[in-house]
Structure 1
């Protein structure tokens, strides 16, 4: 069994903790949670291999930077979340989250997750997401919904499949993947 540590970052109210609650089997939370989940493990089987993932949620506030930096040190793969209905969370992918991760862990592998894309009041256009994808060389697209529990685990499976392909082909792992996620 292989162990891989994922750290989830993003602005408050992006749906990341709701998504992780569903993944952890705790169900969807209707109300905003201003606290992070404790790290948890999740076993996932991909390509006949069993992986034990350690998943770490983080708080997005400035006062939580030192805690995030401690978590970053042992992270294998980062997931940056933004909400489809929140332009500031989308802008902060470029101005806050990507630079913060790359500063503290320059060779980090990063996955981008668009949450809440099942909402009707979308503020971010697909063209804007694709432009971000091209700018940072995101290479993978997937979909999930925390609210409906659709593909919640598949984001992690897709990343692991990509890692398996890289391992068997000896190609360099993309420094970024793009995963589009539906949640609350």
Structure 2
């Protein structure tokens, strides 16, 4: 549910996805414009900022969750799902396995606990797409925009957006899509039958 806080529309958004897929760096980039190059495993973290979309202020809370599948991490992660307006379901475009886990693990989990909450599929680390991969290692196989878009349609994502926290490509577009999607009326959601916008930036 959305609620008024100090006169500003407040939105709660939860990031889920595999460990090291770029969730923490993306949350930091959205809320503070900073790029955190070092990897620090996350159990749970909360980021907040006032963002402006079409000159309207919104108070955005981003809940960064652990990608680990142990019992304690899973229990803590699920607690953050309560009263969530929107999920950002993240994978790295340089890691095909992280995309496979979207359908195998992350969508089933959020649908079990929040069956009607909308989500955006987010492809992270697009700056690494053109690096030469080690094709002998499955986790290093790059994900094409077409393949990710198919997953977005198949899982009934509201949209698919590609971003780079390093270069900031796609970040502003993602912020706008967060606000638009979280504020979409129930009637609009019922009318949507497929992923309506796959934005490749």
TM-score normalised over the length of structure 2: 0.77
Partner of 2:113: 104
SS of residue paired to 1:38: strand
Higher relative contact order (CA 8 A, sep 6+): 1
Q: Which runs of 5+ in 1 are unaligned?
A: none
Query: What is the CA distance between 1:161 and its match in structure 2?
Result: 2.8
Change (3 A) 1:135 1:49: same
1:129 aligns with 2:148: yes
How well do the aligned residues superpose, as a CA RMSD in angstroms?
Answer: 2.6
SS of residue paired to 2:126: coil
Query: What is the CA distance between 1:82 and its match in structure 2?
Result: 0.2
Query: What is the CA distance between 1:37 and its match in structure 2?
Result: 6.3
76-85 vs 119-128, greater mean Cα deviation: 119-128
TM-score normalised over the length of structure 1: 0.84
Judge conservation of contact 1:9–1:97 (CA < 8 Å) in 2.
yes
Give 1 or 2 for the bigger CA radius of gyration.
2
Partner of 1:43: 50
Partner of 1:113: 122
Partner of 2:59: 52
Partner of 1:86: 95
The separation in 2 between residues aligned to 1:3 and 1:128, in whole angstroms, is 33
Judge conservation of contact 1:41–1:55 (CA < 8 Å) in 2.
yes
Judge conservation of contact 2:13–2:87 (CA < 8 Å) in 1.
yes
Query: What is the CA distance between 1:149 and its match in structure 2?
Result: 2.4
Change (3 A) 1:154 1:160: same
Corresponding residue to 2:168 among 142, 149, 153:
149
